[in-house]
Amino acid sequence: MTSRPTPAFADHGALARGTFAVVVLVSLAVLLTPASGVPSAPPGVDKVVHGLLFAVLAVSGRWAGVGRGVLAVLLVLYAAASELLQSLAVLNRSTSLADLVADVVGVAVGLLAWEALARHRAARTT
59 vs 97: CA distance, rounded Å: 23
In a domain, 5, yes or no: no
Using DSSP, state whether 12 is helix, strand or coil: coil
**By residue range, what is the domain housing residue 110?**
11-125
Model pLDDT for residues 71-118, shown as the tens digit of each residue: 999 999 999 999 999 999 899 898 999 999 999 999 999 999 999 988
Residues 110/56, Cβ–Cβ less than 8 Å: yes
What global pTM score does this model have?
Answer: 0.86
In a domain, 1, yes or no: no
pLDDT band at 126 (very low <50, low <70, confident <90, very high): low
Number of domains in the chain: 1
In a domain, 24, yes or no: yes
Model pLDDT for residues 57-81, shown as the tens digit of each residue: 999 999 999 999 999 999 999 999 9
64 vs 42: CA distance, rounded Å: 34
Mean of pLDDT over the chain: 89
122 vs 81: CA distance, rounded Å: 36
User: Residue 118: what pLDDT?
Assistant: 85
In a domain, 67, yes or no: yes
